[in-house]
A and B are shown apart, each in its own frame.
Chain A
Amino acid sequence: MISDRPRVGVVKLASCDGCQLTLLDLEDELLPIVGRFDLIEFPEATSLRSAGPYDVLLVEGAVSTPEQAEEIVHLRARSRLLVSIGACATAGGIQALRNWTDEPDWRASVYPEAGWIESLATATPVSEYVPVDAELRGCPIAPGQLLELLTALRIGRRPQLPAESVCLACKRRGNECVLVARGIPCLGPVTVAGCGALCPTFGRGCYACFGPREEANVASLHGWLAADRSTQEVDRLFAGFTAWSPPFREPAARAVAVAETHHPRKDDPDA
């Protein structure tokens, strides 16, 4: 246990707010949680502000602007434990696809006056800038894993964040494999569990929003899937919310290159 009443901050970088919202989505536990933790910084939920120091800082989002790159260093210095939450903070998120492209070109394709926008060429995980004490994966994170993290902090145990593939959760639920039985491409075998195998449960393939598992055998799965469909189609599967994770980078980079080649920027987006 790090203190009787840990001082907690929840902040965001480049992201959709969904991961910090997950804390508010713990409806049954929210009031017990605020009874046990001091939420001293959580702009999405409270107007009370604090610059720390924090016992625990939950950081959502990817580092994608010069300001964020400085900010994360300051935040780290003010945090005893820094936990990255979500695919953006742990893997760069969907916006990391720009890491393989010409960022000014992307900026110009969205904003008519690109010069008014400040942005880094890359969107990368927090861990590429500062040491991180723990990571919650997922796009968004799993409410149960967030609760487990908070519980583990209180008890002082290591949070139970399983290092297993989505397939285990899928089979524990009694699902039939969508890849084997229906030929639907599924990244479950190379993706770490945490979501509860939602996509196969709903009849579609896993798209790896929790990112790669340890010992992810991307080459084998890619090769098997590419036997029945185009390489480009398979590459795109990996160019998702955790594309910047090292095991996924090779196919993801190819997918982005294909998109850039086939669809170069068109001017005048409002046309």
Chain B
Amino acid sequence: MHEVEAAPEAVTEVGDVTRFAVKQLTRVEGEGRLDLAVRDGVVTQAHLEIFEAPRYFERIVVGRTPDEVIDIVARICGICPVAYQMSAVHAFEDLFGVAVDPQIRALRRLFYCGEWIESHALHVYLLHAPDFLGYPSAIELAADHGPIVERGLRLKKVGNDLVALLGGRPIHPISVRVGGFSRVPKAAELEPMRARLAGALVEAIETVRWVATLEPPPYARVPRLVSLVHPTEYPMNDGRITSSDGIAVAPSAWTDAFEEQQVPWSNALQARARDGVPYLLGPTARVVLGGSTLHPEAAAALAETGLGDELQNNVFRSIVARGVELVHAIAEAIDIIDAYRRPVEPKVAWEARPGVAAWATEAPRGLLFHRYEVDEAGLVSRAQIVPPTSQNQRAIEHDLATFAPSVLELPHEEATHRLEQLIRSYDPCISCATHFLELKVDER
């Protein structure tokens, strides 16, 4: 934790076993560590350990109303609260047969765009880019590359302000209700935001050009990708849960193809496909699987990078996918504002029905699945929440085992740094997953 009498990264050699341990991963959300063991050049153990304190959200929501659940599950993650609210609200509306106004649906996407913008800008500029440029943080990066960091902060601010415009505040916004919102903006309130988004779009396109120049470590593998796929909309809040190798289930039917299991080294449950194959969620998966629905601005930015399969085969390139989604989210937000007609009522009336409410939406980090059992009184009696990071966890561990041999010849400090950079490529969100992650490397 915060005890750093020893260096945070430690590499120990006992006999023929080299052990890489990162006591606390930094520039990730939440608390996790790495434990990797290599013996004779072969990775014998690759654990991403999550010591984030458990908070029992699945139990906390029991006995609560759907609207209360929307408020509560936001608190699972301070970076992507909207995602939690969206999966929950869609799940309940699906069960209750609530048909929301098309403009409400559009506002939900606009809201989500805001979160993608702030989360991606945060990750690209403040958390991930320093890895490529050799800085411990964006603070030092800013000293040498002020304009770049300032651009990132401007983008992040636009995203935060967009969430706040619709939800009151960027972290744990308060307006999402079953049936709609507690309040919807007047068209005039969105106008100043549209102007800012237009400026941000230019900077997002510049972002893609910039991150495409960041040199990744050489690495290649062909992962199974999973995301929502919708015939006409970029993966976000609707579509079928689809994999690059043939899985396709309804957004409410995640459990048909996937399951959760507990591992002793983690306070997070790990999710896995029922066939045991690790899979990758998030921007890369969406850009690849949902590429045909990318906004033309984003598609053009992606094409300009000239990255073909490398985008999906080198996980370090996820920063490019994130940049492309930054463009998409901003461009789509502009389109939604341009087409906005304020609904007469901010939300429609609804009645709870007993049954199972389940849905998946696309958090910035990837697919987020919620499943609630609702009783006769309209209260939740059981819950299951599967965050993207607990699904990516096996893919991360798999990548660590695959990637580690290529860095064993490097000085240990640099090798450890590369391993951390690999983990950060997934934008892991550990509070979410605690369910979630810590990497210890035991080189045996």
Contact = CB atoms under 8 A, between A and B. Distances in A.
A65 B53 contact: yes
B3 A18 contact: no
Contacts of A199: 168, 174, 182
Given A27-B153, A45-B126, A51-B4, A203 B60 contact: no
B262 A236 contact: no
Nearest to B55: A95
Contact of A27 (B160, B172, B375, B379): B160
Nearest to B347: A203
Interface string A89-106: 000011101100000001
B77 A17 contact: yes
A265 B381 CA distance: 9
B31 interface: yes
A71 B384 contact: no
A258 B63 CA distance: 8
Contact of A236 (B68, B78, B170, B269): B68
B75 A259 contact: no
A39 B127 CA distance: 15
A64 B139 contact: no
Interface stretch (A28-36, A125-133, A154-162, A215-223): A28-36
Most buried by B among A13, A16, A67: A16
B122 A24 contact: yes
B193 interface: no
B142 interface: yes
Interface string A150-188: 000000000000000000000000000000000000000
A190 B39 CA distance: 61
B154 A27 contact: yes
B171 interface: yes
Contact of B53 (A27, A64, A204, A263): A64
Contacts of B66: none
Contacts of B68: 236
A259 B420 CA distance: 42
B343 interface: no
B53 A14 contact: yes
Interface string A226-252: 000000000010001100000000000
B272 to A, nearest CB: 12
B382 to A, nearest CB: 6
A44 B75 contact: no
Nearest to A52: B2
Interface residues of A, number: 80
A75 B2 contact: yes
Given A140-B78, A202-B183, A13 B53 contact: yes
A13 B382 CA distance: 26
B75 A111 contact: no
A25 B152 CA distance: 12
Contacts of B122: 24
Interface string B44-74: 0000000111111111101111001001100
A90 to B, nearest CB: 15
A263 B381 contact: yes
Contact of B56 (A20, A49, A95): A95
B53 A46 contact: no
Nearest to A21: B78
B78 A263 contact: no
Interface of B: 1-5, 8, 24-31, 51-60, 62-65, 68, 71-72, 75-79, 81, 122, 126-127, 130, 136-139, 142, 146, 149-150, 153-154, 156-157, 160, 167-172, 174-175, 177, 181-183, 255, 259-262, 264, 267, 269, 346, 375, 377, 379, 381-382, 384, 420, 431
24 contacts: A16-B76, A17-B77, A17-B78, A17-B79, A21-B79, A24-B156, A28-B153, A30-B153, A31-B149, A44-B29, A98-B60, A109-B58, A109-B59, A110-B54, A110-B56, A112-B262, A140-B171, A202-B167, A202-B174, A203-B346, A207-B174, A209-B172, A263-B382, A266-B381
